[in-house]
Amino acid sequence: MVIVILLFVLVFACGIKKEKNKGMSIDVQTYATVGSVERIDPSIDELIPKNAVIEVLDSGHVWTEGPVWIDEGNYLLFSDIPPNSIFKWSEEDGASLYLKPSGYTGTKKRGGEPGSNGLLRDRQGNLILCQHGDRKIARMSAPIDDPKPEFETIVDNYQGSRFNSPNDAVFDRQGNLYFTDPPYGLEQRMDDPLKELDFQGVYRYSKEGTLSLLTDKMTRPNGIGLSPDESTLYVANSDPDMPIWNAYTLNDEGEVTGERLFHDATGYTGKGLPDGLKVDEKGNVWATGPGGVLVISADGQLLGRILTGQATSNCGFDTDQNTLYMTCDDYLARIKL
């Protein structure tokens, strides 16, 4: 009897249901749901509907990261870092392997987190990868709809010293690239004998090909994003002793002219640390952190939290910012906005 009940619950939560629409019967995929939305400020209701639920779209991975929406194909790409892979998910076909290897192309067997982390696209539509294992930022040389594990190096060192493991990145409208370089892709992280830099940097790689170190003061720089007017750079610090987000004021040349604490998650409950983030068109910061995804206004006020129940690594919008996709430990989730 218990088995029958469990099977019924599973089918009901993750099955296909028929809906009638003007006399026609259509198939609608339904998914298991988890967690809840913690509404701290009333304005969160303008961003997340009161009836919104967190849907689990795919599971069974190791550590998911880097979601990026591909509008022309109507699908999402996301990294699974330890198995050195990128997966593709669509409403029609579910999840499938998209690219392997994704972040480490060497022949020597290694452990840790060798795969790609952050994923994004340049102005030409190419897939850009933060490659942990190869310790660089690279461009997939194949078309996005015909992927191949062939990569062109964009940048892989600072003043002759190899990066630790580029983690997350964002382009501005001019094509300049901002990125973070914590030690998470090194097998022994801070104690790895192959570590060549004695700091964890935040960088700007200009469209002309010039690399600038913006700051070396953050202990674990991770997620990164720009305000809509590109005057502010947000950077997450995934250090349990300093779980914060900093905001850096940028001048017209993209240089840092000021620094301030944007938000402090010290004392927050829930799994996870400040990690990946995205900024919406209104300037709100959607930042993964303790409990799931924190929604923070442009002035640093916590509006609410999307409580996924897992350590949540990153998030990303679809093109119209109607849906937020979240990589949560071993699964992929979404919530309608």
Q: Does 75 fall in a domain?
A: yes
Q: Residue 128: beta bridge partners?
A: 120, 139
Q: Does 32 fall in a domain?
A: no
DSSP annotation of 122 reads -
pLDDT, one tens digit per residue, over 139-198 is 999 999 999 999 999 999 999 999 999 999 999 999 999 999 999 999 999 999 999 999
Q: Does 6 fall in a domain?
A: no
What CATH number is attached to the domain comprising 205?
A: 2.120.10.30
Q: How far apart are CA 210 and CA 48, in angstroms?
A: 40
Q: How far apart are CA 162 and CA 153, in angstroms?
A: 13
Band the pLDDT of 16: cuts 50, 70, 90. very low
Q: Does 327 fall in a domain?
A: yes
pLDDT, one tens digit per residue, over 254-281 is 999 999 999 999 999 999 999 999 999 9
Q: In the chain, how many domains are there?
A: 1
Q: Does 17 fall in a domain?
A: no
Band the pLDDT of 14: cuts 50, 70, 90. low
Q: Does 80 fall in a domain?
A: yes
Residue 321, phi-psi category: left (phi > 0), alpha (psi -120 to 50), beta (remainder): left
Q: Does 14 fall in a domain?
A: no
Is the pLDDT score of 23 beyond 90? no
Band the pLDDT of 29: cuts 50, 70, 90. confident
Domain hosting residue 252, numbered range: 37-336
Q: Does 2 fall in a domain?
A: no
